[in-house]
């Protein structure tokens, strides 16, 4: 006990005060799926000091059978009681963990470690990477047997209230995540029927990745308690808007100043900010398979439906890949750029890591951002795009995999092990889809031919 840090000892004190009997030690596999090992609270002190062993060979993207021994080290700053696991016999808490190898070194394939590694690269340049993800999701109803009904939970629209049947669901979601330490700034009904968005406070990328996991975990649990199902699938219903995870980004220095802000620039953007934007525009195709990682992701990333597929940037332009929200007096710290192509199926640790890596590459390479474009890109013809020199995102997961496979920057960011594991898994996913015969094909061709 005496060898524990003050922060770890404080966590033990909290478990006693909170009547915690069980602790979920959470982490993610390479693809962002939350994994958990549950221990009695009486074993938490040992876990905080020495870690908790588990079999890494059972986790996708981790180690082989012959290298299976790994251990979890809880991060005390992530402690929270799980609001829907409270009972008179004792409560449950959770801690998010880092993954270690038996020799005490961080596991290089741990997504949390990958993000930490790139954040350290930024910190060595005197920069703290802050992000603010916007999580969109759909709520589906369940039938009498509890099966998910693939239809919107309501008929509401953007900012709607009269047709919004999920107001109470979102309220309970917000209450749950705020009890878990996440500060929510806004929630509302999104554009599509049955679609919703809950936004939380901007902050350092590691904290925000942890918060993103917390939100997704909590939203699904609360939705179930209301007899509904929350899905982060990007395009669960055709011909309506899909769900994205737009990410607002900026750098702060050691004095707490936003280094993206420049009062003398017409867009109030610093040279560092412009180079950051240039880096993300240059490398976005290479990181697309990480930011939009599923076959279904590319059903969302098509022209129209407010999907950002055009590789350009602007200030008033919501059809651009990167948008710079307009500056308002007295809000210098809010200066930021918004990358609009990620979706909520992305592993947040890997997504923020590759986004940061690309932005840092733009700064280190001294790239110049292209001229901002404020035209509505959805109205442009293919010949217009060629004339303007505007490229587009990959059109499918297969195309995105091709871009990723040749990327030395993404290989450096993920590390050799994770890069190869990720690529192999995505190739298998794409091949499985490519060989599948869909309902659309049967309905279109079976009787015709």
What residues act catalytically?
55, 134, 136, 190, 197, 246, 318, 338, 340
Helix (H/G/I), strand (E/B), else coil: 360: helix
CA angle 339/300/176 to nearest 5° reads 70
Query: Which residue carries 């871009």 as its tokens?
Result: 403
Q: Decide: residue 447, CB within 10 A, 0-12 exposed, 13-18 middle, 19+ buried.
A: exposed
Q: Which DSSP state fits 333?
A: G
Q: Please give the backbone phi and psi of residue 54, each rounded to the nearest 5 degrees, phi first.
A: -155, 170
> Contact at 8 Å (CB) between 299 and 236?
no
Separation CA 352–CA 291 (nearest Å): 9
3-state secondary structure 112-177: HHHHHHHHHHHHCCCCEEEEEEEEEEEEEEECCCCCEEEEECCCCCCCCCCCCCCHHHHHHHHHHH
8 A C-beta contact, residue 342 and residue 245: yes
Element (H, E) at 278: helix 271-291
* Distance from C-alpha of 283 to C-alpha of 310, rounded to nearest angstrom: 13
């Amino acid at each position: 006990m005496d060898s524990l840090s003050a922060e770890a000892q404080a966590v033990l004190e909290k478990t006693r005060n909170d009547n915690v009997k069980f602790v979920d030690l959470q982490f993610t596999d390479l693809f962002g799926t939350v994994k958990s090992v549950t221990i009695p609270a009486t074993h938490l002190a040992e876990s905080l000091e020495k870690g908790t062993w588990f079999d890494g060979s059972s986790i996708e993207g981790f180690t082989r059978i012959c290298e299976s021994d790994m251990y979890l080290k809880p991060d005390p700053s992530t402690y929270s009681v799980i609001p829907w696991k409270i009972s008179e016999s004792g409560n449950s808490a959770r801690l998010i963990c880092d993954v270690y190898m038996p020799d005490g070194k961080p596991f290089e394939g741990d997504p949390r470690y990958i993000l930490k590694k790139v954040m350290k690269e930024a910190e060595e340049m005197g920069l703290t990477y802050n992000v603010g993800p916007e999580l969109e999701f759909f709520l589906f109803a369940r039938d009498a047997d509890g099966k998910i009904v693939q239809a919107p939970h309501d008929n509401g629209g953007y900012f709607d209230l009269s047709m919004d049947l999920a107001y109470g669901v979102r309220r309970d979601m917000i209450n749950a995540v705020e009890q878990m330490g996440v500060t929510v700034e806004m929630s509302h009904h999104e554009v599509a029927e049955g679609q919703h968005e809950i936004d939380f406070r901007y902050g350092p990328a590691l904290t925000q990745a942890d918060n993103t996991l917390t939100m997704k975990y909590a939203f699904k649990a609360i939705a179930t308690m209301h007899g509904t199902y929350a899905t982060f699938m990007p395009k669960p219903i055709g011909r309506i808007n899909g769900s994205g995870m737009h990410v607002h980004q900026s750098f702060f220095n050691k004095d707490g100043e936003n280094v993206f802000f420049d009062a003398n620039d017409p867009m109030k953007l610093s040279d560092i900010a412009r180079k950051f934007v240039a880096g993300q525009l240059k490398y976005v195709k290479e990181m697309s398979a990480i930011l939009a990682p599923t076959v279904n992701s590319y059903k969302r990333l098509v022209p129209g439906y407010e999907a950002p597929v055009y590789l350009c940037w602007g200030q008033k332009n919501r059809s651009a890949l990167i948008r710079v929200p307009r500056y308002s007096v007295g809000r210098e710290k809010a200066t930021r750029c918004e990358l609009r192509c990620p979706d909520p199926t992305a592993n947040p640790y890997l997504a923020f890591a590759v986004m940061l890596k690309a932005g840092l590459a733009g700064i280190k390479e001294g790239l110049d951002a292209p001229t901002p474009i404020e035209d509505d890109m959805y109205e442009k013809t293919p010949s217009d795009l060629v004339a303007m020199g505007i490229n587009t995102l990959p059109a499918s997961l297969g195309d995105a995999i091709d871009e990723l496979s040749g990327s030395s920057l993404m290989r450096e960011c993920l590390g050799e092990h994770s890069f190869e594991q990720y690529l192999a898994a995505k190739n298998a996913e794409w091949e499985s889809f490519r060989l599948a015969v869909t309902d659309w094909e049967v309905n279109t061709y079976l009787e015709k031919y």
